[in-house]
Structure 1
Amino acid sequence: MNLRMPATEKDLAEDAPWKKIQQNTFTRWCNEHLKCVHKRLGDLQRDLGDGLRLIALLEVLSQKRMYRKYHQRPNFRQMKLENVSVALEFLEREHIKSLWA
């Protein structure tokens, strides 16, 4: 990494230490909730990418089931995207908005 990089750029860099801390903290929080359904996250991006663990986390946190069926074994990208869409639709129907909405 360039040591001359201004502090703001350094803080926004992909490998900024605070980002790793946040990622590890969130992963531990997710795993704490997912353990009751015998699921676990290792890598956030990879493990949430097919939608299955995201759906499981939402069901655990809300204590509700998904409104729509989803792919239990998503083999194709389209199936994974549909699963993520089911999770996002669930959040919308439960009136849960992101900080960026």
Structure 2
Amino acid sequence: MMSNNYDDQLPPQYSQEFGDEEDDEMPATEKDLAEDAPWKKIQQNTFTRWCNEHLKCVSKNINDLQRDFGDGLKLISLLEVLSQKKMYRKHHIRPNFRQMKLENVSVALEFLDREHIKLVSIGPQEGN
């Protein structure tokens, strides 16, 4: 028996179900850029596993990239493991305040700069 519902004949990405107005209004490119886009989660999980593979030699682990790299300590550890060098500047071992955490991240970014590792689309100019 032939269906009169055209949605049944379309691939899932073109199917439009009732009650899903938010997706109907959002173009495909915006869906891909959305915070919860599936490809972003896959990349985040892959990078997290990669980081943990390197951090395990210093007995460290991350679960959430943004939160766990936020104080700069695990980022510094990862850079030291990957480069097999120590930071050029001292950093705060127990950063209790936001300023201390930001200084630690700055130490890591300065290390990358001194090692001639260029970061694209990262830095204060992103806010402009």
TM band (smaller chain): over 0.9
Give the Å deviation of 1:35: 0.2
SS at match of 2:118: coil
RMSD: 1.2
Q: Output the amino acid matched with 1:70.
A: H
Q: Deviations over 1:12-45 (max 9, x none)?
A: 1111000000000000000000000000000000
Q: Output the amino acid matched with 1:30.
A: C
Q: Corresponding residue for 2:104?
A: 83
Structure with more contact order per residue of length (Cα contacts < 8 Å, sep ≥ 6): 1
Listed as ranges, the gaps of 5+ residues in structure 2 are 1-19, 123-128
Q: Corresponding residue for 2:114?
A: 93
Q: Corresponding residue for 1:21?
A: 42
Looking at CA atoms only, which structure, 1 or 2, has the larger radius of gyration? 2
Give the Å deviation of 1:98: 1.4
Q: Corresponding residue for 2:75?
A: 54
Q: How many residues align?
A: 101
Return the alpha-carbon distance in structure 2 between the equivalents of residues 96 and 88 of structure 1.
Answer: 9
Q: Deviations over 1:25-68 (max 9, x none)?
A: 00000000000000000000000000000000000000000001
Runs of 4 or more above 4 Å deviation: none
Return the alpha-carbon distance in structure 1 between the equivalents of residues 108 and 34 of structure 2.
Answer: 29
Q: Corresponding residue for 2:23?
A: 3
Percent identity, aligned pairs only, is: 81
